[in-house]
């Protein structure tokens, strides 16, 4: 069995590596590409671009999109769903920082 090239394993484990095209991302999420474009337009997602200009999404971004989709399925507006997801991200970041500070005592 061939060994992964240097750096390949870290890319596979990296939640922020932009590995998914818009088509693949929309297939995985069960949404239309227009849904992902709408999340780009709100600023919630900022996918990287390939040399040819194609959007490339990370697993982290796909998780955010899935969370927004779940909130929309609960009859939230897109603006409300994006705001909730943004606040959840900020809360997670704050909780991680608090844990770091408490561990340093």
Task: Spell out the domain ranges in the chain.
Answer: 15-103
Contact indicator for 79, 55 with CB cutoff of 8 Å? no
Condensed to tens digits (0 to 9), the pLDDT of residues 26-75 reads 999 999 999 999 999 999 999 999 999 999 999 999 999 999 999 999 99
Q: What is the pLDDT of residue 11?
A: 82
In b/e form, how buried is each residue of 74-87, taking b as 16+ CB within 10 angstroms?
A: eeeebeebbeebee
Between 13 and 101, name the one with better pLDDT: 101
Residue 21: HSE in the Cβ half-sphere, 13 Å Cα cutoff:
7
In terms of CATH architecture, what is 15-103? Orthogonal Bundle (1.10)
Per cent of the chain over pLDDT 70 is: 91
> Residues with Cβ < 8 Å from 26, sequence gap 6 or more?
32, 33, 35, 36
């Amino acid at each position: 069995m061939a060994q992964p090239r240097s750096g390949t394993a870290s890319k596979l484990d990296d939640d922020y590596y932009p590995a998914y095209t818009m088509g693949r991302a929309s297939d995985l999420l069960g949404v239309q590409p227009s849904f992902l474009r709408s999340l780009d337009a709100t600023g919630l997602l900022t996918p990287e671009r390939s040399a040819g200009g194609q959007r490339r999404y990370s697993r982290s971004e796909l998780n955010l999109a899935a969370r927004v989709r779940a909130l929309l399925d609960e009859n939230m507006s897109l603006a409300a769903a994006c705001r909730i997801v943004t606040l959840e991200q900020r809360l997670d970041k704050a909780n991680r920082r608090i844990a770091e500070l408490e561990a340093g005592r």
